[in-house]
């Protein structure tokens, strides 16, 4: 059982399957369920009507590999040593795939972001791990797979696991399209360009950066067709979301056509969001811990779950213990996350630790706790930000005294815990790995450099 004592629920009924759908770089506010009015996500909105929707869900980091590692393991990415997209998962902790495989599940994954290739370390426990990316991004030439072939590959995996109907399956599908550069079908971009062009307050033209960060300018990897208008890129992002929604709808429809819908627990989430000009940060992620980057959609639909909306704070770290319990399994005892459907769970909130780790030009750490979101920026000009969470979990300007000392202490204590328990530094990248990550727009430091995990001084 791979070192984990797994308790199966005695039941004569067929066992429940698991479908995990993640979307790269998907902003929560571009989903109709969360306030978007342009009908970008009709398929996902229909799914949400039958799901439990967590209005205050957060990712621990604003970039892919650490957030996905947290989702698949239930552990803080800092303790795993996955503190950038250059640091692979090398831990021995149980994952969704190893745990479910040990419990008799068929396990398969279809991923479409190069930072999730098997070298990421996240393929452990999957019997089939499809990272076949035959497309290349238009500007950088980095490997990727767009939404339609991703769905095709996912359906092929559904057909494969269907050959062993006596065994339940776990299928993870990761869509890449909303990640830049935004190159949707041209007609879709045109559909959203007009409203974006009429948005008040935008600068007429943006500068183009000579790096990938997006601070005050269009990142070099996003620059398309000599276009410098924010509207062009925002419309492209919206179109990518709409295109991905259609393909997720196709996947869910095929799940139903195969007679699997009623027996499948479906978890939908994004790994992080994208800044579209907030804080003068353009078409990028990883630099800040703002809501548009770390507040994510998290929806769960499954047998016996009553649809509805939840305002308690949830974390990607909560997915593994929640899923295990829903599937009749006993999760590891040392997980920091919680079962979101345990008795009384609605009246409690998760504590979510946030970090930019080694990715940002200025290190930032934070926490969501006690009805507040607190972020501290380090560097030459340290700063603090306190935001209250309203009844839907939205971060708003404070209207009262924040529990400042308690929040600072949480961040300090978490930093000390990471320094004590974090995994050893990963081996240095190969030159091929380095070139791939840089082509994807990530600023790559040596993985064997020690990341900023100690808490900053108050």
* Cα separation, 177 vs 144, whole angstroms: 9
- Which one has a higher pLDDT value, 13 or 76? 76
- Hey, how many other C-beta atoms are within 10 angstroms of the C-beta on 79? 20
**Token pair in block for residue 385:** 């930000």
Q: What is the count of structural domains for the chain? A: 1
pTM as predicted? 0.91
How many Å from the N-terminal Cα to the C-terminal Cα in the chain? 45
What is the pLDDT confidence band of residue 452, given thresholds at 50, 70 and 90? very low
Domain that holds residue 248: 17-351
Per-residue pLDDT tens over the stretch 146-188: 999 999 999 999 999 989 989 999 999 999 999 999 999 999 9
* Residues 23, 30: Cα–Cα separation, whole Å: 12
Q: How far apart are CA 95 and CA 123, in angstroms?
A: 10
CA 65 to chain centre: 9
CATH number at residue 104: 3.40.720.10
Is residue 379 over pLDDT 50? yes
| CA-to-CA separations, 316 to 66, 174, 342, 392, in angstroms, rounded | 11, 15, 16, 18
- The answer to whether residue 338 is domain-embedded is yes
The reply to whether 163 falls in a domain is yes
Lowest mean pLDDT among 7-11, 12-16, 316-320, 450-454: 450-454
What are 293-302's pLDDT values in tens digits? 999 999 999 9
Has residue 59 been placed in a domain? yes
CA distance 385 to 334: 31
Whether 5 is covered by a domain: the verdict is: no
Q: Are 12 and 3 in contact (CB under 8 A)?
A: no
pLDDT of 63 strictly over 90: yes
Q: Confirm if 339 and 112 have CB atoms less than 8 A apart.
A: no
Residue 3 domain flag: no
Q: Given a cut of 60, is residue 453 above it in pLDDT?
A: no
Whole-number mean pLDDT of the chain? Answer: 89
Q: Is residue 303 part of a domain?
A: yes
Other residues' Cβ atoms within 10 Å of the Cβ of residue 366: 27
pLDDT of residue 10: 38
CA distances to 35, 106, 339 from 127, in Å:
39, 7, 26
User: How much is the CA Rg of the chain, to the nearest whole Å?
Assistant: 21
Residue 82 lies in a domain: yes
Indicate whether 436 belongs to any domain: no
pLDDT at 390: 76
pLDDT tens-digit readout, 260-281: 999 999 999 999 999 999 999 9
């Amino acid at each position: 059982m791979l070192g984990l004592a797994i308790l199966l629920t005695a039941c004569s009924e067929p066992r429940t399957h698991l479908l995990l759908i993640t979307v790269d770089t998907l902003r929560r506010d571009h989903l109709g369920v969360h306030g978007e009015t342009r009908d970008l996500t009709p398929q996902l909105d229909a799914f949400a009507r039958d799901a439990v929707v967590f209005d205050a869900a957060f990712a621990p980091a604003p970039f892919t590999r650490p957030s996905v590692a947290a989702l698949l393991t239930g552990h803080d990415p800092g303790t795993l040593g996955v503190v950038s997209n250059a640091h692979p998962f090398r831990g021995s902790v149980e994952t969704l795939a190893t745990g479910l495989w040990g419990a008799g599940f068929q396990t398969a994954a279809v991923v479409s972001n190069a930072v999730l290739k098997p070298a990421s370390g996240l393929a452990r426990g999957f019997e089939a791990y499809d990272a076949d990316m035959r497309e290349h991004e238009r500007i950088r030439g980095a490997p990727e797979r767009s939404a339609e072939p991703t769905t095709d590959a996912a359906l092929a995996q559904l057909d494969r696991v269907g050959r062993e109907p006596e065994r339940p399956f776990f299928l993870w599908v990761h869509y890449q399209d909303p990640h830049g550069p935004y190159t949707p079908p041209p007609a879709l971009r045109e559909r959203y360009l007009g409203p974006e062009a009429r948005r008040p307050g935008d600068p007429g033209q943006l500068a183009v950066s000579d790096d990938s960060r997006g601070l005050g300018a269009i990142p070099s990897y996003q620059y398309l067709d000599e276009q410098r208008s924010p509207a062009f890129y925002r419309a492209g992002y919206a179109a990518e979301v709409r295109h991905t929604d259609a393909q997720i709808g196709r996947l869910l429809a095929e799940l139903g056509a195969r007679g699997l819908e009623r027996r499948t627990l479906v978890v939908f989430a994004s790994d992080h969001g994208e800044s579209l000009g907030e804080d003068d940060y353009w078409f990028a992620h990883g630099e800040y811990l703002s809501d548009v980057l770390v507040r994510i959609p998290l929806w769960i639909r499954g047998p016996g779950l009553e649809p509805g909306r939840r305002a308690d704070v949830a974390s990607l770290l909560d997915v593994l213990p929640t899923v295990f319990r829903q599937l009749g399994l006993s999760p590891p005892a040392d997980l920091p996350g919680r079962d979101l459907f345990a008795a009384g769970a609605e009246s409690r909130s998760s504590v979510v630790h946030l970090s930019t780790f080694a990715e940002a030009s200025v290190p930032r750490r934070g926490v969501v706790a006690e009805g507040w979101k607190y972020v501290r920026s380090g560097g030459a000009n340290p700063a603090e930000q306190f935001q209250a969470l309203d009844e839907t979990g939205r971060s708003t300007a404070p209207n009262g005294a924040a529990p400042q000392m308690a929040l600072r202490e949480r961040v300090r204590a978490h930093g000390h815990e990471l320094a004590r328990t974090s995994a050893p530094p990963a081996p240095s990248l190969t030159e091929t790995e380095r070139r791939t990550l840089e082509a994807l727009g990530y600023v790559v430091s040596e993985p064997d450099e020690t990341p900023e995990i100690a808490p900053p001084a108050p």
